[in-house]
């Protein structure tokens, strides 16, 4: 009897997993295979202020969950100058500023993508990301 219950629960779990994958595909389509490339296209198109050097870049790709790229920069500019630069450049390129995110950073949105600019110790970070929802 216990064995039948366990088998039944395993079967229901497998069905729910298949349903979850199907529903996610219906909402997000083929974004999972296309988005890493799109993320790097956004990165390649991002302006970088003068007197600024990229120091580190980390990507995180979680299929059916999110894609993100963190890029760390060192600059001679003040954080206020960096924020003004990105506010000007990103809004010019069609990114909309997301209001009231809290903290010291800025967040911009274009379609399903977001870019945040955050002050870090001796650097600043540009985070390009997209979360999949369904």
pLDDT in single tens digits along all 134 residues of the chain:
888 888 888 888 887 777 766 665 655 565 666 788 999 999 999 999 999 999 999 999 887 778 999 999 999 999 999 999 999 999 999 999 997 666 678 999 999 899 999 988 889 999 999 987 65
Asked whether residue 21 is assigned to any structural domain, the reply reads: no
User: Does residue 14 sit within a domain?
Assistant: no
- Note the pLDDT of residue 65: 79
Nearest residue to 67 via CA among 100, 40, 101: 40
**Is 95 domain-assigned?**
yes
Domain assignment of residue 110, yes or no: yes
Residue 37 lies in a domain: yes
C-alpha distances (whole Å) from 93 to each of 12, 14, 82, 100, 126 are: 47, 44, 16, 21, 16
In a domain, 44, yes or no: yes
In a domain, 58, yes or no: yes
User: What pLDDT, on the 0 to 100 scale, is given for residue 8?
Assistant: 82
- Look at residue 39 in the predicted model and tell me its pLDDT: 93
Evaluate whether residue 2 is within a structural domain.
Answer: no
The residue segments making up the domain with residue 114 are 29-131
The CA-CA-CA angle for residues 67, 70, 71, to 5°, reads 140
Indicate the SS3 state at residue 8: helix
- Counted domains in the chain: 1
pLDDT at 131: 86
Joined together, the tokens standing for residue 60 give 């995180």
pLDDT of residue 51: 92
Q: What is the pLDDT of residue 85?
A: 96
Radius of gyration for the chain, computed over Cα atoms and rounded to the nearest angstrom? 20
* pLDDT number for residue 50: 93
Question: What pLDDT does 27 receive?
Answer: 58
Looking at residue 122, its pLDDT comes to 81
């Amino acid at each position: 009897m216990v064995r039948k219950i366990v088998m039944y629960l395993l079967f229901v779990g497998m069905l729910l997993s298949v349903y979850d994958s199907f529903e996610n595909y219906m909402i997000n389509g083929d974004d999972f295979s296309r988005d890493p490339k799109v993320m790097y296209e956004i990165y390649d198109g991002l302006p970088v202020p003068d007197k600024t050097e990229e120091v580190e870049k980390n990507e995180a790709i979680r299929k059916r969950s999110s894609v993100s790229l963190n890029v760390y920069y060192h600059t001679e500019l003040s954080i206020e100058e960096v924020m003004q630069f990105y506010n000007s450049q990103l809004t010019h390129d069609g990114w909309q500023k997301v209001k009231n995110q809290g903290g010291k950073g800025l967040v911009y949105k274009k379609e399903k993508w977001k870019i945040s600019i955050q002050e870090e110790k001796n650097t600043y970070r540009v985070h390009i990301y997209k979360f999949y929802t369904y």
